[in-house]
Every structure is written in C-alpha cells, then in structure tokens.
A and B are shown apart, each in its own frame.
Chain A
Amino acid sequence: MIKAILIFNNHGKPRLIRFYQYFAEDLQQQIIRETFHLVSKRDDNVCNFLEGGSLIGGSDYKLIYRHYATLYFVFCVDSSESELGILDLIQVFVETLDKCFENVCELDLIFHMDKVHYILQEVVMGGMVLETNMNEIVAQVELQNRMEKSEGGLSAAPARAVSAVKNMNLPEIPRNINIGDINIKVPSLSPF
C-alpha cells in the first residue's frame, strides 16, 4: 500500500499532497516538513530509499523518492510494495505528466494542481497501484479532459456567465425591466 504521495520543490514548498490515510492538516504539513528535511539533505547519488520518518508510518514504511530538477516526488509505502517497482511507478507518473503537459515543469504543477491530481488518480487509487501502462493512463486522462471541454470546463465559468447574460431570453423577462440601466457592454467583456 502507498500511504502518501508528496511532491514538493527544492525549498520544501508542497506542490501536491495526497494522503491515503487521514492526517489532520497541521500534521500533514509537519509530515511534509519532516520528509523534506530527510530527503533534501541527501546527495543525488545516494540511494532513493529512506527509512525513518517518525510521523508517517513506522518501521514497516519506507520513503521512496526521486528528484527531478526542482521537484521531489516522494512515495511513502509499506513493505508490500516493491521498492524498485515504486521507483518505476514514479518514473511512469512523471513521464505521464510530461506527456499531458508537454514538457512538464514545476510551473505546470503549481498552476494546475487539480490536473495533476486527476492524472495521479489514474495511476494510484486509494493507495493501490491502478495502472502502470502510460498509454492507458494518458488515454483515460485525455478522454476525461475532452469530456470536461465538451462541458465547457471550469475555467470557462466566468466566460459562460457572460454568455449567460448574452443568451438570456430577454423578451421573456418581465417587460418593465429597464435594460438600459444596467448599461453593460457585454461583448467587450469577453476577453476576461
């Protein structure tokens, strides 16, 4: 079982946290800090496994991490997971991110945390590995994104609000409304 997946940058700023076991928010932050402390002081040419981490896990748990440029990807797993397997999984995950974001960088993770979560959801579910085939993961993510697009997406919400005004069936609205009073220039707002 995977107990937690943490992504943070070289300064310990969390970019994505995913706990598969409940921890209160402050404890989560503590765990991130502790993990960052453990991981960041390690050279790049040492092994990617770490025991310890008093807050999360215990003796049965290991931290398995990879360091990519400015980001640390840390998986906290128990002994039922294969160490090398999880390393591979991190690689698969990062490659998937790379495919979905096209040359992924930290900024993508910063501004699209939700999307990263959706991708992760196709890889790991409830602490268990769901899919390891990158093409399958990408395909599912794409399909869902397409669905979102067909619904207009979340980012389109303000724009849709505008179009709602545009498309409002004014004739059906009680006549006594003085539309002139509202005085908005709807088309000019669309660039928002």
Chain B
Amino acid sequence: MALKIVKGSIDRMFDKNLQDLVRGIRNHKEDEAKYISTCIDEIKQELKQDNIAVKANAVCKLTYLQMLGYDVSWAAFNIVEVMSSSKFTYKRIGYLAASQCFHESTDVIMLTTNQIRKDLSSPNQYDTGVALTGLSCFVTPDLARDLANDIMTLMSHTKPYIRKKAVLIMYKVFLKYPESLRPAFPRLKEKLEDPDPGVQSAAVNVICELARRNPKNYLSLAPLFFKLMTSSTNNWVLIKIIKLFGALTPLEPRLGKKLIEPLTNLIHSTSAMSLLYECVNTVIAVLISLSSGMPNHSASIQLCVQKLRILIEDSDQNLKYLGLLAMSKILKTHPKSVQSHKDLILQCLDDKDESIRLRALDLLYGMVSKKNLMEIVKKLMLHVDKAEGTTYRDELLTKIIDICSQSNYQYITNFEWYISILVELTRLEGTRHGHLIASQMLDVAIRVKAIRAFAVAQMATLLDNAHLLTGNTQRNGICEVLYAAAWICGEFSEHLENPLQTLEAMLRPKVATLPGHIQAVYVQNAAKLFATVLRSQEGNTDSTTAQETSQLMIDRLPLFVQSANLEVQERASCILQLVKYIQKLQQKDVEVAEEVSALFAGELNPVAPKAQKKVPVPEGLDLDAWINEPPSESESEDEKPKAIFTKEEPKHSRPRHTEVDEKELARRREARKQEQANNPFYIKASPSSQKVYQETPGVEHIPVVQIDLSVPLKVPGLPMSDQYVKLEEERRQKERAEKKKKEKKKRKEKRSGRGKKHDSGPESEEDITPAHMVDIVTEEMPENALPSDDDDKDPNDPHKALDIDLDKPLADSEKLPVRSHRPTEAPKSPAEDGDTESAAPQEPKKKSSKEKKEKKKDKDKDRKKSKEEKKKKKHKHEEGGEDLLGGQPDEPVVQSEEPNEEVALPTSTSAEVSDLDFWLSNAPVPSNSQEAATVAAAAPIPQAASGAAPDSEPDEPKDTEVETKSSKHKKKKQKKEKEEKEKKKKKKHHHHHHHSDGGGEESVQNGTVEEEEPLPPMSNYCLLAENSYIKMMMEDADQVCDIQGNLQDGSQVVVSVIFENKCNSFLKSMEFNVLDSLNSKLQRPEGAGPHDGLTVPFQLPPGVSNEARFVFTVQSIVMPQKLKGTLTFIVKNEDSSTHEKLDFKLHFTCTSYLITTPCYSDAFAKLLESGDLKGSSVRLEGVNMPFHHLLARICFHHHFSVVERIDSCASMYSRSIQGHHVCLLVKTADQTVSIDAKCDEPSLLGNVLDEIKQTFSQC
C-alpha cells in the first residue's frame, strides 16, 4: 500500500501544473485541440487520484480550459471535493472553479450546502471570504433559502472584510429567495451606517440595486440616504446614492425639491467628473419630475446644460459621449434649452467616433422645427452618403424617418420634399430598413390626400426602375419599397398619367424574382390598374387599347400563376380568369369598365396599429366561457383519430397504396385528368396550354420603354430632394416678402410709428406655412376604445419578486429570525377583540414592575410565563422571532446577535427615519435629545386601536433588554440597572414616536387615506404638570400623561405617566397620589388606605425619564372629570437630600373612555337603524385642513375608526369602555365641517362632541 502511495506521489511529480499546461498549449499552436484533449485525459486521470493536491491542480487547469471554451461540467463533483478541502489553497481553487462553471442546473450544487455553511462559519476569515465570493456566483434558490440565516449572521461579523462581502451577497440571496428580504432588511439598513466605509459602500450598493427596480418601497430610506449624501466623502458611495435619488425622485417630487440644493452645491464643488456627471443626471431627473411644480428651476436647467456643454466640448471623448447622453434626457422635457446648442450637436455629427455620432443623432430628434427640418435632414442625407458602415447608415436612415415622422409629421411643411427624401433613401444599398421606408410611403400616401398625385408619379417611376432597387441580389431589403410603390400606384391609379406603362412595368418577368408577398401585391394592383385603364378607354370609339391591355394581362399573368407562393398563385389565377372573361365581353363590345372598377371601389382608411387590441369586449361576452360544453376527456380521446385529425388515415392507407398495381394507378391518373379538365377552376399547368399563351399575338405591339441606365444611382426622372430645399427657401422668402408688404401697408395706413421692431426679426415657427394645405388623416380606432396603454412587464424579471413592502411589520409566517424594530400591529377584527379583552392583565402597572424584577432573576421561566399570559395580544412578528430563537438552540450566534439588533435599531435609526413625510415637509428632524426634552412623544394609540392592553408595549423592549444583558444582570448593581432604564427610556420615546406614525398608518388601513397628503405628526401626550418654582438647583420633574380606557373592565382606566428628571440630582422615593372623587378612584394595593400614595416603581437619575402606569376605577363615564393629585419625591444630592412635591390635575375626558373599535358598514347601518341611539350634531367653522387629516385627527385624538368614506363624507364609530356605541357622520364643505352624531348615552355624546370641537379649535 505504501508502495502505491510512493509510486503515485512520484507519478504526480510529472503532472503538469497550470503553467505547464499554458506553455504546452502555446507550443502546440497547430494542433491545439488535440493537445488539449490529451491534457483533458490526463486531468481525468489526475482527478481519480486520492491526493487532494493533485485534484486541486487538475481543477485549476480545468478552470483555465473552461476559459478557452471547454465544457468542464463533467468535473463538477471533483470541484466540490476540492472545495471541501481543509486547506485554503485548495479550497480557493475549488470555489474559483465552481464560480466559473456552476449554475442553477448544476445538480451537485445541492451537495455543497453543508460545506458552504461550514466554511461560512470558519474561524479563518479567508475561508469565509472565499466561500462568500464563490457563492455569490452560483447561489441557487435552495442555497439561498438554506444559507440566508448564516449569511445574515455574517453581516454582523467582527471583521469588516467579511461584513462587506456578506452584505453584498445578500442581494443575490434576495434575488433567489425573495422571502428573505423583509427579515434581513433592518440589518441591511443598519449597515448603511457601519463604521467601516467598505461595508457602508456595500450596503449602499445593495440597497441601490434593490431600489432601482422597485423604488417606491425604498422611499422611506430617503432621509437616511440624504444624510449619507451630505456626510459621505466617498465618491463611489456618493455616485450610487445620487443615482438612487435619480430613481426615487419621479415618485416623490418633494424629495426632488429637497435635493436640488445639495446637488447644485456638489456640482459646483466637486472636481470628480464622474460625480459631477451623476449629479447633473440626477438634477435632470429631479427637474423632469418637477417639470411643472417649480417655477424657478430654470437656473438649475441652465446650470446643467452649461456643465454638459463643457463636457461635450471637452477633448475627452468619454466626457463628450456622456454629455450628449445626459443632454438627450433634458431634451425630453426642456427642448428649448437644448436647442440653443444646436451648433455643438451638429458638430458632433461629424465626429470620428461612431458612438458620439449616434448620441448626437438622438439629440437631433428633439431639435428639429418646421424651420430647420429640411436643413437638418439635408445634412443627414450627406452623412448617409458618406457613411461607411451599414449599421451607422441604417441608424441614420431610421433617425431621418423618426425625425420627419415624429408627432404626426408635425414639422413637415412640404410633403413632396418628404416623398422625394424617401425615394432618395431607397437608393441605399444593403439597408435592412426597406420596410420602414415602405411603411412611411404608404402612410404618407394614404393619410395626406393632397400628396397622392405626386406620390403616385414618384412610385410609378420607382416601379419603372425596379431593377435598380432589386439590383442583382434578391435578399436586398430595399425591395420592400416596391411593395409600397405597387400598392400606391394601384390604389390611387386615378392619379397615374400613364397607367398602361405602369401596368406593363408591374408585369415584367423580372418581378417573379421578388419575394412572394410583394409579387402578390403586384398582381392585385395590376388588376386595379387594369380597371383604371379600361375606364379611361371607356367611351373611346377605338377599343384596341383596352383589348390590348386585356391581352397583356392574359399574356403575363400565367407567370404568376406558376409562382411557388400560394398567395401569388391564388390571386393570379383568379384575376387571370377574370381578365379572360372580360376579354370575351370586350370582344362582344360590352361595356365592362364600370363593373371592373366596382371590384376595387371604396377608399381604404388607415387603421391605428393598436386598433385591433383596443376593440372593447362587448358587454355580456365572456371569452373564457365554453361555447359548447367541452367533451369529456375520455370521449375526446376516442374521437380524436376519427373526427378531428385526419393524420392517422394516411398511415393506414399507405400500406394499401403499395398493394395497388400499376394499372390501377394509371387508371386513376386518367380519371383525375379528366376531372381536372372538366373543372374550370383548375389551372392547367401543362406545357401545351402555356404554349397557347405564348403564341397569342400582341406582345410585340406593347411598347417597352427603354431607359438609359448608365448612371445607376441617379434615377432618371426622380426629383432630387435638394431642390426642394431651395424651392422652400424661395417660397418662404416670397411669403415673407408678401407679409412684409402687407405689414408695411398696414403700418403706412396706421402710421403708429412703432417702427422697425418686426422688420428684421427672424421668422418664427408660426410664420412658416406649409407648402400645400395638408390634411393628415388620423388613424382609425374602434369605437369605445380604451385609452389606456398598458405595457406588459417582463414576467420573468427576477426583480418582480422583490417588490415587497418593507415598512410593513413582519408577519408570523416570515421565518427568518430577525425581528423588526417597529412594533406596529396588524389591525384586528372585532371578533379578536373579545379574546384580547379577556386576556388583558388585571393590574398592568404593578405587574409590569414585578415582572421586571422577576425576569431579571429567571428570565427564561418568566418569558415563557409572560408569553403565555400575553400570547394573544403580543405582536405577531415578535412571537415569530421568539419562536425561532427558541426553536434553534443550535445556533448560538444568531441567538446572541438578534437581541442586539433589536436594541440597537431603535436608538440608532428610528429617529432619523422618523417619517418620510415629516422629513419631506421640511420640519426639523427630532433628534434624541430634543425629543426627550420637549414633549416625550406620542401615545400608544394603535395599541388601544387593536384593543390590546396598554402594558404589552413597554414589555417588548424589556424582554429583549433582559435577553441581551442577562449575563450582566447577575452581578449588576443598582446603578447599572438605572443606566439600562435610561436607555430604555429613550427607546421608549422612539417607540412612542413610531406609534404615532402607526396611528397615521392605522387610519390609512381604516380606509381614510389613500396616497393623499401626509398627516402631520400627532401626539396624545400632554403636559400634566411641571415644577415652576425653581428654588433649588433646577430640581424638578415634569409629568406628561395619556389617559386610556381599559377594555378589560368596564370601569377601569389606565393612565400612563412619563416622569422626567430635568435636574442634576437624583430623584427617588417618588410617590404618586390622587385625591379620589366619588366617581373615580385610584386603584391601590390591597390593605392600603384610601389616602395612601402609590410608590412609583423606579428612581430617576439626572436627565432620565421613565413611564409608570396607574389604574383608576371609574363609576360613570358620561362626564369628563378632573382629579387633583400630588407627586412627592426626594431630591438627592451628593451632600443633601430634600423632600419635594408637585401638584397636578388629571383630566379625564370622555374621549379617554372611548376605545377605537373597528366596525363594518353593515353592522354600522344596523346600529343606526335600531333606533336606540339619540342624535346630536355640531358644526365646526373654518377648519382648514384636508379631509383625511381631519378624519385622522378624530381617529387619533378621539379614538374613532372610520367605517366608510365617500368623497368628503365619512362615517365613524367608536365604543366606550362601558359599551356605549358612538356613531359619527362627518361631512365637510368649504372649511365647514358638520358632524352628526348618535349615541345611546346623550350626555356622553354631548361631551365627546364638545371635546372634538375643542380639538379643532386648538389647531
């Protein structure tokens, strides 16, 4: 055995390595293929070895051969083997080979999953890096699904080298496994602010790629990107971001307004051309999106055009090219500003660089006017003559036609000129665009009636000289033109001067070499011409011409009857018979012209290209319905051979055929001939019959025009388009002169003395009158055609699957273990509400504080417990996250990583990404400190909206907090705890803020708002009390509160109060006490006296705030009430501590007893019909806000939900904690809002209405 090893090893010493292979190939230039095939044989041998080094070497060589075009997929398994080597050297070779030749249908890929996973979690960062690089090239949907978790973990790797690779590869994962996008997105977003610039750039890169395809989903990131744009110095990142903004602005014009200024600054300041160019590009995009909105953006356009001109004038061809490219974008919306640079662009037409010429051509499209069209086209025609390559010439040709035909021939003043241009273009050799010219000819001839005579004359000449067009090669695309020429001549033959001559030209034997479809048109139109000739000869005493024409037809048509093309044959034989019949009649001197012309009577109108598609389906017609009941499957199978397909039969008959003897065959042939002879419709192809035609006299008599063809390209008789330019010039001058004369006369008459103003000014567009009054017939469309023009998107586009709403909270089903930081809730139906009610905890405030402590001791146990307790009201995604965490104990990395995520996200990003609308509305973005200092954010309304108990919300952050810090918790001291709380506090603020956003969203979901103006931010928190007597070193606390009814019990109200320490001292021993009234009582722990205060379950270090909740029992809820209360606390300094107190008033509005309850319109109607409700109404004057804002405000502040909204009228519903129904009907008309309300408790209703009134009077 050892011997074998030794021997193998020694053999291997003679193996070629990559260099040897390359050298060998270079030395075998003559028989390279043979040499390589021997090498491949060697490689196959090497791959059979056990030695991984040998295999790796072989795979490395294969990679080289793959580059040369050899398929190496047969070695896929060996590649996998090399990939799984433990040595980096081999692994790298394996992954390289895999990335070069693996693809989705490589079946061994599924074997790699575990190997890749292992490599991804390798302690060696380069193993991981190599695996990521390789995977990025061959990731499949399966791999993406299986590895998404692992890669996502790597996005938070300690090494930036791995992080940036992991971030980049996520894009590939998203493409293959779109479900991963939403769970991974928060982390991706977080990476936008990674400390490492490489990672940041990678994240920008990925999001830009994502956003490019589905920009609307990424609008909410605009503020973040804006910040990056103004702060980043990395040009790569800047370019990407600026490009991204270019894609976003069309969706959000307000964004554009915000961008203009920083972009203009960048344009002025940057020295990097690439950045400058992208800035200009995005400014253009902005301007396009704003095209109407902003009055003073002409400066920006000027700046852009100016900068682009500098680019175009640069000697660097690249800049020139890009300048022209960007210019063409401006052209679309601001043609005027580009037109002033016509000189420059025409100059570029002469550039030696084809790419630049093509770009300049694009620009020309928008620069033409009635005035300069002829001039420009003349210049282009010169280029056509000069152009060497056919591609460029074809491009020129299409551009000429594009330019002339744009917007319904808007700029053409002289169609004779255009026709002659088209005719001139037919002289282009080898162009592929014959059909384009043909369709233009047809279009112009059909739609411009005035031009027909001229067009027909031109076409007749073309037909006459058809041999020039067809040349010697048949494949020449230009002969398509003859199709148009023949049709025009035939259809409008009444304009022909010499129809007979044209008819003769159309029946020349050479025509038979043309493509079939053209021949068919020839034959058909020959018949039309024939009719015209007959008609012109009608009444003529001498009928020889008519008869000669018939004879000509009869002589020439058999040529077409023999055509291989079915249509030509069919038409020719039909017309031949017809002419024969006519000839007979002619010989009897019967007048036939009228009848023959009747065959082709009537005008053909142009039909719009999409007309067929636009024919609306008639009402009641179901195209998918069966006309007859479909036969059952078994039946159809039985019938198939019999009834539907005759294919089977010949099969059966063939053997029979062979049996038939010669005699029988001959007999049958005879019979068939007999039958054919008797059949008038069978065209005899026998040589004898042909002879008959040839023998018939008359051919010699037909005059054949001989044309001198010494100069092949100058078609005799065809007018040159150039002469029109001159003519036009003269005509215009004349016109101008006349006009001047008239004006002079007028002036003389008027003697107003305002002199020379009009005199020498250049003629304006309006001055140019078309040469002939042109009636451009519009294309016909079917009646009731739908105007919409739907472009179908490519259904195979992988990006379609990535069109995912990223702002929606994660749902339970979205399995990847990353939790979103946005605890918004999905709306629940009223049915679910019942469940939540019963599940809500009894004493939220106390419990939450207790729970906190418990959790710290035994978080797992408690988590389970609390989960059970609150299962139903918990956020769905939250649960999903936890389930996954629990379900994957074998992935410790994920577990420790996730909560981090959760904690970090809100603090870092939520503030900036507060709300796009808010950001766009130019309001200052609230920073952390601001927010905390001012009003302590908004209320957890959505919570109430969905009926969840209020304390579920603060629990979430706590949960995660506990998870993350669990290790620390064991030995932590009080202080640490406080710090944590501090963090928590801030976070909570953000949470609240989100909730306020959520409030807005909620109302959207309720159906009020659909892509209307954004809602202003709203808050339900109000200042409760603040210490104003500043006696002692700023120590004071303020309280803000939100009062919320608790559904759980008809008589409970929960008040959440945020305490904030504004001084530099420590606040502790806070006690909260309220003087109970008859109606309302603070719930105190059992055994406490009615006047005892409640201890606030936390202490406040300086600058920190926290929230506490207090439960009140309320007897009657129909009246608002105020409760007096006191907060006592100890202010602790380093050296002293003092006892302080703060008085406050709790205001329980009736609104706070209402609970947002969704209601369906049918239930709502029933409720109103029941008659139990008593009505009341209120009018609000001078409410100056959009209706949906108004509704949102009512929803938000007064806990209503919208039942239905029709235009400026909406019905709303809410329910009190004691089950009173409150229904509103809100109508608005010019600043006046009338609210009709119904409720089963009139006093409650009255108070609610008063409160609503007050809300609107405040704003």
Q: What residues of chain A have their CB less than 8 Å away from a CB belonging to chain B?
A: 1, 14, 16-18, 20, 22, 24-26, 28-29, 43, 45-51, 80, 82-85, 87-88, 110-114, 117-118, 121, 125-133, 136, 140, 143-144, 147-148, 151-155, 157-158, 160-162, 164-165, 168, 173-174, 177, 182, 184, 189, 192
Contact = CB atoms under 8 A, between A and B. Distances in A.
Given A113-B67, A131-B198, A173-B2, A47 B137 contact: no
B311 to A, nearest CB: 10
Contact of A165 (B10, B63, B236, B239): B10
A129 B17 contact: no
Contacts of A20: 137
Interface in B1108-1165: none
13 contacts: A83-B274, A87-B318, A114-B64, A125-B132, A125-B168, A128-B206, A147-B88, A154-B17, A158-B12, A161-B13, A168-B2, A173-B2, A184-B10
A165 B137 CA distance: 39
A50 B355 contact: yes
A49 B318 CA distance: 7
Contact of B136 (A47, A125, A152): A125
B338 interface: no
Interface stretch (B52-60, B577-585, B923-931): B52-60
Nearest to B274: A84
A148 B322 contact: no
Nearest to B237: A132
B277 A82 contact: yes
Interface stretch (B90-98, B631-639, B1066-1074, B1200-1208): B90-98
Contacts of B132: 125
A54 to B, nearest CB: 11
Given A45-B317, A111-B19, A160-B53, 7 more contacts: A46-B355, A49-B321, A84-B322, A85-B239, A126-B172, A136-B198, A189-B10
Interface string B343-383: 00000000011111010000000000000000000000000
Interface in B2-19: 2-3, 5-6, 9-10, 12-15, 17-19
A77 B235 CA distance: 19
Contacts of A112: 18
A1 B209 contact: yes
- Counting chain A CB atoms within 10 Å of each CB, the highest count among B87, B133, B164, B320 belongs to B133
Interface residues of B, number: 82
- Counting chain B CB atoms within 10 Å of each CB, the highest count among A1, A28, A144, A161 belongs to A161
Given A47-B355, A129-B205, A114 B18 contact: yes
Contacts of B57: 154, 157
B66 A25 contact: yes
B70 A25 contact: yes
A120 B240 CA distance: 21
- Counting chain A CB atoms within 10 Å of each CB, the highest count among B18, B51, B171 belongs to B18
A140 B352 contact: no
A85 B2 CA distance: 58
B202 interface: yes
Nearest to B213: A80
B104 interface: yes
By Cβ-Cβ distance, the 7 closest A-B pairs, closest first, are A126-B136, A84-B274, A47-B317, A22-B103, A46-B353, A161-B9, A157-B53
A104 B494 CA distance: 76
A114 to B, nearest CB: 6
Contacts of B354: 46
Contacts of B15: 157-158
SS class, residues of chain B in contact with chain A: helix
Nearest to A121: B133
A47 B348 CA distance: 13
Nearest to B278: A82
A154 B212 CA distance: 42
B69 A29 contact: yes
Contacts of B56: 154, 157
A165 B96 contact: no
A163 to B, nearest CB: 9
SS class, residues of chain A in contact with chain B: mixed
- Counting chain A CB atoms within 10 Å of each CB, the highest count among B22, B67, B235, B236 belongs to B67
A161 B10 contact: yes
Nearest to A107: B22
Nearest to A82: B239
Nearest to A160: B53
B720 interface: no
Nearest to B68: A14
B529 to A, nearest CB: 42
Contacts of A165: 6, 9-10
Nearest to A152: B89
Nearest to A16: B67
A29 to B, nearest CB: 4
B90 A154 contact: yes
B126 interface: yes
Contact of B212 (A28, A80, A113, A133): A80
Nearest to B316: A47
B355 A192 contact: no
A82 B243 contact: yes
A183 to B, nearest CB: 11
B71 interface: yes
Contact of A80 (B54, B92, B243): B243
Nearest to A127: B136
Given A82-B278, A85-B239, A111-B22, A177 B209 contact: no
A16 B100 CA distance: 11
A140 B161 contact: yes
- Counting chain A CB atoms within 10 Å of each CB, the highest count among B172, B236, B320 belongs to B236
Nearest to B317: A47
Given A80-B243, A154-B53, A173-B2, A114 B88 contact: no
Interface string B310-336: 000000011011100000000000000
Contact of A125 (B92, B96, B169): B169
B88 A28 contact: no
Given A25-B71, A154-B57, A154-B90, A147 B209 contact: no
A165 B171 CA distance: 48
Contacts of B702: none
A160 B9 CA distance: 9
A170 B13 CA distance: 20
Contacts of B457: none
Interface in B83-115: 87-90, 92-93, 96, 100-101, 103-104
A157 B355 contact: no
A189 B13 CA distance: 9
B255 interface: no
B993 interface: no
Nearest to B318: A47
B273 interface: yes
Contacts of B169: 125-126
B571 interface: no
Nearest to A87: B318
A28 B72 CA distance: 13
B12 A17 contact: no
B208 A80 contact: yes
B165 interface: yes
A49 B354 CA distance: 11
B168 A17 contact: no
Nearest to B276: A84
Contacts of A110: 22, 26
B274 A85 contact: yes
B54 A157 contact: yes
Nearest to B61: A114
Contacts of B54: 157
A177 B2 contact: yes
Nearest to B101: A25
Contacts of A113: 18, 22, 63-64, 67
B590 to A, nearest CB: 61
Contact of B6 (A151, A160, A168, A174): A168
A155 B56 CA distance: 10
Contacts of A130: 164-165, 168, 198, 202
Interface string B178-216: 000000000000000000001001100110110010000
